[in-house]
Amino acid sequence: MDALPVSEETGLAFASQQPGVMHACGHDGHTAMLLGAAELLAQSAILDEVGGRVVLIFQPAEETGNGAAAMIADNCLQDVDMIFCGHIDTHHPVGHLAVDQGLICSCADPFIIEICGKGGHAARPHEAIDAVVVGASLVLNIQTMVSRMINLAHPGVITVGRIAAGAVHNVIAGKAVLEGTIRSTHPDTRTQIIERMQSVVRGLEEMCKAEISFTLHQGLPAVVNDPVSCALARQAAQEVVGIDQVISQGAPSLGGEDFSFYQEKIPGTMIRFGAATDQDTGPSHSGSFDFDEKVLGYGSRWLATVAVHALRYLQKS
């Protein structure tokens, strides 16, 4: 449903058969959960008793950030009054569901920085403007900026995930491209980070005599669970796993989720499905990522249960 450009290293019998591509974030599990919820609802007479309609949204392209917006454009929310989803999370034990009201995922803004210097011979750097050196200075300055200029009460992070420059070892690169993401949990932090990044770019441009462009692409809004849908999500979670197994995820995640686009249209809540394994597996987005498959049953039951709870609430309101 939503694989990543990561080579699988799990060695599992059902590992990806596509070189360089794997499910490294649990979206295959989410798909299985929703299919399970569909079967539970279809086998039960509860929908006939409660009335109303449940729409199951199998959405691709969460990892590219534009899947939800495309689904909305295709009218997936037509006649839908409330929406729910969950995400597998190996930071929490299996059988636990994390439910929180308010902000749970940060804003996510991708950016590209293009550096145009002046190529030259590796032995004569004084005749060139080294785009690699400028790019390295940018990365270091950006990290210092976050650790020393951002209010720690409103966390933010900047990650440069890709640097491309040069072709051979003995030629100074005249061009470099940096791609990364800004994550922020507060509008003021987001604005501050963007403004300071622009200042860093302008300063290095002047100091290094290079041309540097900073392009910020449309990102993801924060995921904010509203009180009513969150209360319904919590009730359903308590019914599925018991009150003691319903937990908080803790501080808001700096991860981004395009579920936020649905929340801009209708009330909705996103929860987390505990899925930690007892194996030495890697984190999400790594080649060794895996989760405890017992989470699939909990996820299916919660999705079916919360749908019924929401229908009952909507029928009364």
Per-residue confidence (pLDDT) for residue 186, from 0 to 100: 86
CA 29/CA 34 separation, integer angstroms: 9
β-bridge mates for residue 140, sequence order: none
Residue 62 annotated to the active site: yes
Q: Of 2, 109, 130, 292, which one is the catalytic site residue?
A: 2
Mean pLDDT check: name the lowest of 90-94, 195-199, 217-221.
Answer: 217-221
Confidence band of 1 (pLDDT split at 50, 70, 90)? low
Cα(first)–Cα(last) distance of the chain, in Å?
A: 35
Is residue 211's pLDDT more than 70?
A: yes
Per-residue confidence (pLDDT) for residue 293, from 0 to 100: 95
Domain 27-105+223-316 matching CATH 3.40.630.10: the answer reads yes
Average pLDDT, the chain: 93
Say whether pTM exceeds 0.95: no
Per-residue confidence (pLDDT) for residue 143, from 0 to 100: 87
Residue-wise pLDDT for 97-125, tens only, equals 999 999 999 999 999 999 999 999 999 99
Q: Indicate if 107-216 has the same CATH topology as 27-105+223-316.
A: no
Residue-wise pLDDT for 139-179, tens only, equals 999 888 888 877 777 888 999 999 999 999 999 999 999 99
Residue-wise pLDDT for 300-313, tens only, equals 999 999 999 999 99
Residue-wise pLDDT for 244-263, tens only, equals 999 999 988 988 899 999 99
User: Percentage of the chain with pLDDT > 70?
Assistant: 100
Class of 107-216 in CATH: alpha beta
CA 280/CA 247 separation, integer angstroms: 24
CA 234/CA 302 separation, integer angstroms: 10
Is residue 279's pLDDT more than 90?
A: no
**pLDDT (mean) for 268-295:** 94
Q: What are the residue boundaries of the structural domains of the chain, listed by start?
A: 27-105+223-316, 107-216
Q: Of 8, 28, 62, 257, which one is the catalytic site residue?
A: 62
**3-class DSSP assignment, residue 45:** coil
